[in-house]
Amino acid sequence: MTVLLGEDNNQYYSDDFPIFYLNKIYKTGSKSKYFYRTAIDRALKANQVRAVSLMIEYIIKYQNTYISSFLFKKNIPELLEKGIKLTDLFNSNVFSYTFDYD
């Protein structure tokens, strides 16, 4: 993850094409039952704290919009339990949306 999300590859990243999203995974032996999982969920399950931190840094920098909040829909408590720094995430635009109205 360090190499993939490192500064050397910045020219390939774009706000228009996110690399973290929900993956639809079918349950074993069934084409009608499925669940959704993100790369963050998978890394947390494997206890890859540094990889999760790098993913969060990427999301804050390149996917910094309320649309990306679905990535953290179910895993905020686990992120806090593992001691992952979330201050920058909570201060970003991921969990906020500004309404313009008259």
Tens of pLDDT, residue by residue over 40-92, are 999 999 999 999 999 999 999 888 888 889 899 889 999 999 999 999 999 99
Average pLDDT over residues 4-13: 78
- Note whether 52 and 45 are within 8 A (CB): no
Q: How confident is the model at residue 101 (pLDDT cuts 50, 70, 90)?
A: confident
Residues of the domain holding 26: 20-91
Distance (Å) of CA 30 to CA 9, 23, 26, 37, 57? 38, 16, 7, 17, 36
pLDDT of residue 33: 92
Does 85 map to a domain? yes
Does 72 map to a domain? yes
Give 63: exposed, middle or buried? Use CB within 10 Å, 0-12, 13-18, 19+.
buried
Nearest alpha-carbon partner for 18 in 90, 66, 68? 68
Q: How many domains does the chain have?
A: 1
Does 49 map to a domain? yes
Is residue 23 over pLDDT 90?
A: no
